[in-house]
Amino acid sequence: MLKEFGREIWIADGPDVSVFGFHYPTRMAVMRLSSGDLFIWSPIQLSESFRAVVDALGRVRHIVAPNSLHHLFLPEWKRAYPEASLYAPPGLREKRGDIDFDADLGNASSPDWADDIDQVLMQGNRITTEVVFFHIKSGTVLFTDLIQQIPANRLSGWRAVVARLDLMMGPEPSVPRKFRLAFTNRSGARDSLKRIFAWPAEKVLMAHGTPVEEDARAFLRRAFGWLSK
């Protein structure tokens, strides 16, 4: 269920979710902070057996939705961990008025995890304002939807055509075309990229796609080369 991805970080793949007829795989990450508490990134569906595995790592203290599109499983995690704090990215409070969030994510890390995790808002996108995280101990940059990849054998017919046109079925993960077109404030996005490029990245993790586990900084510059020019 949980796979160690680096020092003090674990990942888990969950069941597919359907969006406009496309079935997307889901992935979450668990990071153990210096305090011993757990930081849950983009939580997937929670079962009793999976909860037991998570609990063995430490106390769940922070549950984070990294953008306004990843919210389906937040209520069940909050029910399971009522003492944990639930964090909303820009736009999600308005979208999910039924969820009682404890705090909002911004362009700087909370003091609760600043020693372990850095973060930046990827500004200027009309689809969603994604919070990109950097896990310091493992050197992992965590993207949610701004970088994606669908395996070539996963789709067929018109869905495969659409995914290829959206630049989601290439040899390595990339920024989908729809997100590229949605960057209306490219100056703000470039400012965010400067901070991301400055991180000493060793790996790149995403919610949908094959993780990048070597030459991470070069990969990031390729992925956003169209924007950083």
Each residue's pLDDT tens digit in the chain (229 positions)?
Answer: 899 999 999 999 987 666 555 667 789 999 999 999 999 999 999 999 999 999 999 999 999 999 999 898 999 999 999 999 999 999 999 999 999 999 999 999 999 999 999 999 998 999 999 999 999 999 999 999 999 987 666 655 656 565 665 556 567 899 999 999 999 999 999 999 999 999 999 999 999 889 999 999 999 999 999 986 6
Specify the pTM.
Answer: 0.92
* In the chain, where the domains are located: 3-228
Structure tokens at 229: 């020019």
User: Could you tell me if residue 115 is left (phi over 0), alpha (psi between -120 and 50 degrees) or otherwise beta?
Assistant: alpha
Topology of domain 3-228 in CATH is Metallo-beta-lactamase; Chain A (3.60.15)
Q: How far apart are CA 107 and CA 110, in angstroms?
A: 10
Our measurement of the distance from residue 195's CA atom to the centroid of its chain's CA atoms, rounded to an integer in Å, reads 17
